[in-house]
């Protein structure tokens, strides 16, 4: 049905176009946002690359438009891949978007495009065709603040980081230290990362608003600073989106989620299990993998460990150490990919050993589960810092991975008083976040503003 009638006037249905960056941690929140808008009556069109294309059959209500020519090289850093994708998709996206606008003109109104902050080129193309644009940031407000502050960080000498100053506080971005800043340690990446950040901030500045997957309960100060110091008027903290959307991310998962682990969790005592996952991209070397395996085994704590086939760098399939699987058969469950949100919501889960991708961090907070943090790159380090210092719902496992140290850290989280205190605080933070989602709460109000904006343009 493409039209509705209000007071005798025919109102055309409104369509929102979305374009996620094709990585799991960006696809999930964009689909969650699409789910929210769809439940508010908008029709949804999803533009997507061939690389990591979503499964259209799982979203029969949405219209999918493949954008060819993403030319995503299998090699290169993530930053290279993002910049390449922008270049290669520009012309095909323009053509496909023009066709969608032409076809829809008769029966529907297209309210605008919501694109990932890393798709500046697509946002420019859409505005060039007269379409309003909004940006979705899938990382924290602190992370975006860091992007905005990048020129200052260089001017004041925080960056590039010097080994002797890694633990120096960045007073302008408290509680971050130099080592927590978003920075690529790979030689020569510097310029590309700066380009990525300046493009993401430009994407926001050129658009009508910033939709951001966070909550006032977590980042009120950071959000305020983005609004005031950086003069970005429409900042909409709508998160955590996975708690708002009626669709679970199962439908946007690129890998098959193994629900067998839920049955296994059913057999475990309350809050006894440590859930271990390092997201969709983080990896380790074989030596570290060995230490993690024995650290888990030696901790004596039941665990559910997500072992992606590509978790060990350079291998298609990780080799478990001899004797490991027998040693943990009574209290360890290994799977390749989990229904993570369901796992974290399960009563048997009492802690999360995570790489602190922003989605994982939010999903853990959303269920009141405290974290053992092992961040690797990008915004993961600052997320871990906030978990430890600002919210007090976890702590970082620093330095070289070693089995004895790992087992001790796991026991601290799962069995000791300090861990219990973090679990208590995690419950309180969860309640505050839930409060923002209720009618009149800040996330609810932000979603209403977004909907009203999309209805008004």
List of residues contacting ligand UDP (CB under 6 A): 24-25, 28, 249, 253, 257, 277, 279-282, 306, 337-338, 340-341, 357-360, 363
Which tokens sit at 48?
């997507």
SS3 453: helix
- Minimum Å gap between C-beta 183 and ligand UDP is 17
Q: How many whole angstroms separate alpha carbon 160 and alpha carbon 133?
A: 33
Catalytic: 116? Answer: yes
CB atoms within 10 A of CB 130: 8
Closer of 131 and 274 to ligand UDP (Cβ): 274
**Minimum distance between the CB of residue 196 and ligand UDP, rounded to whole angstroms?**
15
Q: How far is the CB of 97 from ligand UDP (least distance, A)?
A: 26
Give the bridge partners for 352, in sequence order: 275, 371
Min separation Cβ 219 and ligand UDP, Å: 16
Distance CA(283)–CA(387), nearest Å, equals: 21
Count how many Cα atoms sit within 13 Å of the Cα of residue 329 in the half-sphere of its side chain: 4
160 by DSSP, 3-state: which? coil
Q: Which is nearer to ligand UDP, 28 or 133 (CB)?
A: 28
Instruction: Give the span between the Cα atoms of 173 and 357, in whole angstroms.
Output: 19
Q: Return contacts of 176-182, CB within 8 angstroms, 24+ apart.
A: 176/142, 176/146, 176/382, 176/385, 177/385, 179/381, 180/381, 180/382, 180/384, 180/385, 181/146, 181/153, 181/381, 181/382, 182/143, 182/146, 182/147, 182/378, 182/379, 182/381, 182/382
300: left (phi over 0), alpha (psi -120 to 50) or beta: left
- Cβ pair 65, 38 in contact under 8 A: no
- How far is 50 from 48, CA to CA, in rounded Å? 7
Minimum Å distance from CB 53 to ligand UDP?
Answer: 17
Q: Which of 38, 48, 70, 116 is catalytic?
A: 116
Residue (of 289, 276, 293, 277) closest to 327 by Cα position: 293
- Residue with Cβ nearer ligand UDP (133 or 356): 356
State the minimum distance, in angstroms, from the CB of residue 25 to ligand UDP. Answer: 2
Q: How far is the CB of 207 from ligand UDP (least distance, A)?
A: 22
C-alpha torsion angle, residues 42, 47, 51, 53 (rounded to 10)? 30
DSSP 2: -
Q: Distance of alpha carbon 26 from its chain centroid, rounded?
A: 6
Question: CA-CA distance, 426 to 363, in Å (whole number)?
Answer: 12
Quick one: 131 or 261, whose CB is closer to ligand UDP? 261
Question: Active-site residues: which are they?
Answer: 26, 116
């Amino acid at each position: 049905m493409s039209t509705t009638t209000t007071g005798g006037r025919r109102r055309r249905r409104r369509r929102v176009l979305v374009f996620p960056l094709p990585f799991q941690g960006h696809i999930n929140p964009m689909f969650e946002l699409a789910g929210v808008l769809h439940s508010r009556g908008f029709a949804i069109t999803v533009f997507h690359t061939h690389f990591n294309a979503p499964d259209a059959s799982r979203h029969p209500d949405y219209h999918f438009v493949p954008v060819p020519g993403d030319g995503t090289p299998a090699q290169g850093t993530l930053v290279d891949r993002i910049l390449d994708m922008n270049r290669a998709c520009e012309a095909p996206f323009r053509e496909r978007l023009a066709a969608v606008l032409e076809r829809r003109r008769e029966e529907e109104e297209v309210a605008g495009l919501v694109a990932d902050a890393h798709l500046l080129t697509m946002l420019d193309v859409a505005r060039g065709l007269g379409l309003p644009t909004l940006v979705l940031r899938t990382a924290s407000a602190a992370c975006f603040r860091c992007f905005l502050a990048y020129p200052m960080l260089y001017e004041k000498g925080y960056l590039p980081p010097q080994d002797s100053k890694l633990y120096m506080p960045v007073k302008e971005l408290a509680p971050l230290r130099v080592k927590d800043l978003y920075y690529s340690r790979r030689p020569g990446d510097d310029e590309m990362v700066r380009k990525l950040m300046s493009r993401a901030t430009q994407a926001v500045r050129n658009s009508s608003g910033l939709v951001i997957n966070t909550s006032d309960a977590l980042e009120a100060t950071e959000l305020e600073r983005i609004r005031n110091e950086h003069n970005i008027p429409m900042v909409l903290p709508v998160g955590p989106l996975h708690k708002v959307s009626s669709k679970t991310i199962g439908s946007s998962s690129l890998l098959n989620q193994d629900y067998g682990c839920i049955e296994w969790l059913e057999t475990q005592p309350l809050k006894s299990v440590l859930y271990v996952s390092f997201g969709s991209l983080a990896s380790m070397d074989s030596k570290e993998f060995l230490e993690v395996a024995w650290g888990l085994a030696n901790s004596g704590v039941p665990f559910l460990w997500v072992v992606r086939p590509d978790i060990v760098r350079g291998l298609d399939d990780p080799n478990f150490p001899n004797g490991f699987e027998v040693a943990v058969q009574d209290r360890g469950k290994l799977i390749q990919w989990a229904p993570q949100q369901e796992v974290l919501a399960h009563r048997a889960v009492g802690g999360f050993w995570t790489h602190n991708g922003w989605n994982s961090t939010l999903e853990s907070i959303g269920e009141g589960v405290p974290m053992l943090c092992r961040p690797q790159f990008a915004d993961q380090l600052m997320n871990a810092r906030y978990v430890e210092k600002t919210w007090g719902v976890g702590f970082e496992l620093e330095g070289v991975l070693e089995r004895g140290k790992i087992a001790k850290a796991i026991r601290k989280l799962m069995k000791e008083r300090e861990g219990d205190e973090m679990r208590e605080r995690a419950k309180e933070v969860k309640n505050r976040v839930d409060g923002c989602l209720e009618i009149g709460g800040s996330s609810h109000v932000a979603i209403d503003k977004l909907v009203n904006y999309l209805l008004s343009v």
